[in-house]
Structure 1
Amino acid sequence: MPLRPDVTLDYLRNRQKGRLPDLLGIQVVSLGEGTLTGELVIRPELLAPNGFLHAATVVGLADTCCGYACIAHLPDKAQNFTTLELKSNHVSTARDGKIVAKASAVHLGRSTHVWDATVTNGDGKLIAMFRCTQMILY
């Protein structure tokens, strides 16, 4: 599916106001054919009680980036999407700085999309690998 011209970075930024991505502090930084990149600055509220980055923060960023990418690549006449399945593998963590998620299309069908995201710290060190399957809603 080609990138929808009506879905811009500003459109996505406005869509998240007052919602979880806004609460987490997610910033969408780039959108292209089959890809979307977002980031967030780590702050104490996003850490687990052990002082390390909470896994839910990482998943929230990755899932948001994949979801926004899905919106930007919806087929003609599709209205929205919902998540069917998601999985993440965490291989590292962080305590400060920022994390970056890059979503990439794996499958862009008329009834489902599959998206992968890699989450890294500000220096590019891998933190997590994420995959989700989205059901396209008409």
Structure 2
Amino acid sequence: MNFNKEEVIRICNKMCQNTLMQTLNIKFTDAGEDFLVATMPVTPDVHQPMGLLHGGATVALAESVGSAASIMFINTEKQEVRGIEISANHLKSKREGLVTATAKIIHKGRSIHLWEIRIVDEQNNLISLCKLSNMVLPKR
């Protein structure tokens, strides 16, 4: 199978329609054979009460990009992906701007995918470091 970066980005962005990803304004921007990148603006829509980026919004971004990344490795006619565990370390706060999440594969098994998702700001400061496990299941 030939990897088509533009097609992967188009499909991922199309999947966001009418979902939490659309609500959070998550946009997929780059892809490679072992990584996927998405951005999310930091606005009051994703703030917690203290005016900072909400950890839950950050985790939603991480799970969105990591789950979509697993889809690149499966036969979507026969298989589907489910996130089964996510962990996040929030290292720096952010009030406004843009965060970028990059999911890189750590383990690509037949039934389990393990991803590291780094979320950084515009100056490449690490905001959160996440780890996501996805299970690959037969399509129902």
The residue that corresponds to 1:112 in the other structure is 112
Contact 1:100 1:121 in 2 (8 A): yes
Q: Partners in 1 of 2:3 and 2:26 — Cα distance?
A: 22
Aligned equivalents of 1:68, 1:3: Cα separation in 2 = 18
Contact 1:75–1:110 under 8 Å retained in 2: no
Q: CA separation in 2, counterparts of 1:16 and 1:79?
A: 19
Deviation at 1:79, TM superposition (A): 1.7
Corresponding residue for 2:43? Answer: 43
Deviations 1:14-67 (Å, cap 9, x if unpaired)?
Answer: 111000111100010001111001101111111000111100111111111101
Identity %: 25
- Scaled by the length of structure 2, what TM-score is found? 0.91
What stretches of structure 2 of length at least 5 have no aligned partner?
none
Structure 1 unmatched runs, 5+: none
Could you tell which deviates more after superposition, 68-77 or 102-111?
A: 68-77
Q: SS state of the match for residue 101, structure 2?
A: strand
RMSD, aligned CA:
1.9
Cα 1:69/1:21, change in 2 over 3 Å: same
Contact 1:4–1:73 under 8 Å retained in 2: no
Cα deviation digits, residues 76-106 of structure 1 (max 9, x gap): 8642110111100111110001001010000
What whole-Å deviation, never above 9, does each CA across 1:99-123 have from its counterpart, x for those lacking one?
A: 0101000011111100110001111
Give the 5 Å matches for 1:1-138: 8-74=8-74, 78-138=78-138
Alpha carbons 2:88, 2:131 under 8 Å: kept: yes
Q: Give me the whole-angstrom Cα distance separating, in 1, the residues matched to 2:24 and 2:44.
A: 11
Q: What's the CA shift for 1:129?
A: 0.5
Q: Give the TM-score normalised by structure 1.
A: 0.92
Q: Give the total of aligned pairs.
A: 137
